[in-house]
Structure 1
Amino acid sequence: MSANELKLVLIVNDEKNQAFYKNHLSSYDDIALEVYPNFIDFRNQSHGKLYSGFLVDIRTLIKSSSGEKLLFSHLLQHFPVMRVTKKPGSDSFSGLLESKSLGRLKGQALLDAFINDLCRKNQPRDIPSGRQQGTFRSVYLYYSDNFQQEPEKAVIENLTIKSCFVVTNEKCSKGSQIWLVFTEMKEQTPILCEIKWAKPWTVGSLYLPGCGVSFIGIMDEQIEELSQLIKN
């Protein structure tokens, strides 16, 4: 990706509609387009990337889970977002923008304004994590999927809807899996996590030992509850 390229994301689950939108976007210079069939796939692959705007297929959005719609509302707060839908039996589309000045435009004119007046003038940024720093929360920690065993009583910090840091003295290996149960959540199904990095306990260390994990097996209800925990 060159320094002048505009990083956009298209979220649409139908392959024919993917090709339709990509064809309309191909006429614009210097666009680096990422295409995802749903918000979950996008969320799992967005870490560390910078974006300038999003195009979201309305039919895909309607069929999305409540957790995915929560992520969509999160994007609306921080990025230019254009909702689009292909008109049946035609080569045209309609769009919707949260913009009073551009909201009266239609079709290709609206797409032009979205890309050139909003996205190109928007500073590329990563997906805000809503990270909750300096707050510790209690969890039950399992090192296997045998949930009949007594769990370790642990605490976590730096909570986001995608990840957290688990404070533990146990040896942690990158790529290994653990399960967490948040004591404050109503939905007590253990959340499957993958260890991304570890900070082992050492003599004289001036930091908390533990591991950074990402949530790879989490229910929509749990995403909503985590979002509320982060806000509180």
Structure 2
Amino acid sequence: MSEIRILIVVKDAETASAYVDAVTESGATCDVAHSFQEMSALATDRVYNGIVVDILTLVRCSKEEKVIAYEIINLFPVLRVKWEPRHKKIKLTPLEQSFSPDTDSALRFFIQTRCKAFPARSLRKEKRKLVNLNLLYCRDNRFLDGEACKSFTINISPTGVFLHTMEEFRVGETIWLRFLEFADQTPVEATVCWSQRWGVTRCVPGAGVKFESLTESQRQDVDRIVNL
């Protein structure tokens, strides 16, 4: 059975040590990022099943770091926690308390249920753009009437997109995309690299797909959007 790997984001060293102990006791291995820039670098080079975020580190970071933080947080299961130095205890944020008031139980559930069910992944090394593009997807490149599904992108890179869908896809499955905003409506062949099911975690359900065919016009449209 593969290990569950968690990325902890926390600036303070004492707090980091407490979080590492708690995550390890809950059955996972972990790395620590002391800033959201470091989080981005680690999540690009390594694969993770989830992220534990210290809420004070998030609240006190710069606007630039918040952009990085929320972009990545939307792609992984996330547990937001805070450290109480006076009582030497980890506490849940109000959002997490609505699911479980007990920190130890919540952390174990987060790791053993939400993170275990989430396929470990890394961030793409290519530049990504958070943008919602309207698209149709289909398992047949003929796009027969009634077979295409309406969707939209969550983000796009030069090599692929993360698209919203409630359907479950197999890794390696081929689907076809048609972007409404593109001048060239030729169906784009794409391979499913990972799929996030609805209801398993609080992440956006969808599929990460890699472009297998782009016309020159479509490639220009992708590059223009990514570099806006």
CA distance in structure 1 between the aligned counterparts of 2:42 and 2:107, rounded to whole angstroms: 25
Specify the code of the residue in structure 2 equivalent to 1:19.
Answer: S
Specify the code of the residue in structure 1 equivalent to 2:62.
Answer: S
Q: Which residue of the other structure, out of 89, 94, 107, is the alignment partner of 2:91? A: 94
Which residue in the other structure is 1:163 paired with?
A: none
Equivalent residues, number: 136
Specify the code of the residue in structure 2 equivalent to 1:40.
Answer: Q
Which residue in the other structure is 2:63 paired with?
A: 66
1:20-169 map, 5 Å: 20-29=18-27, 31-96=28-93, 103-128=99-124, 131=128, 158=158
For residue 90 of structure 1, report the CA deviation from its aligned partner: 1.1
Q: Secondary structure at the match of 1:90?
A: coil
Specify the code of the residue in structure 1 equivalent to 2:31.
Answer: E
Which residue in the other structure is 2:166 paired with?
A: none
Paired residues of 1:83 and 1:97 also in contact (CA < 8 A): no
* Greater Cα radius of gyration, structure 1 or 2: 1
TM-score (norm 2): 0.52
For residue 112 of structure 1, report the CA deviation from its aligned partner: 1.1
Distance of aligned partners of 1:84 and 1:99 in 2 relative to their CA distance in 1, 3 Å threshold = closer
Distance of aligned partners of 1:105 and 1:113 in 2 relative to their CA distance in 1, 3 Å threshold = farther
Specify the code of the residue in structure 2 equivalent to 1:123.
Answer: P
Distance of aligned partners of 1:90 and 1:35 in 2 relative to their CA distance in 1, 3 Å threshold = same
Distance of aligned partners of 1:58 and 1:99 in 2 relative to their CA distance in 1, 3 Å threshold = closer
Which residue in the other structure is 1:13 paired with?
A: 11
Q: Secondary structure at the match of 1:55?
A: strand
CA distance in structure 2 between the aligned counterparts of 1:78 and 1:67, rounded to whole angstroms: 18
CA distance in structure 2 between the aligned counterparts of 1:6 and 1:97, rounded to whole angstroms: 25
For residue 124 of structure 1, report the CA deviation from its aligned partner: 1.0
For residue 16 of structure 1, report the CA deviation from its aligned partner: 0.7
Gaps of 5+ in 1: 133-156, 160-228
Gaps of 5+ in 2: 130-156, 160-224
CA distance in structure 1 between the aligned counterparts of 2:95 and 2:122, rounded to whole angstroms: 20
TM-score (norm 1): 0.51
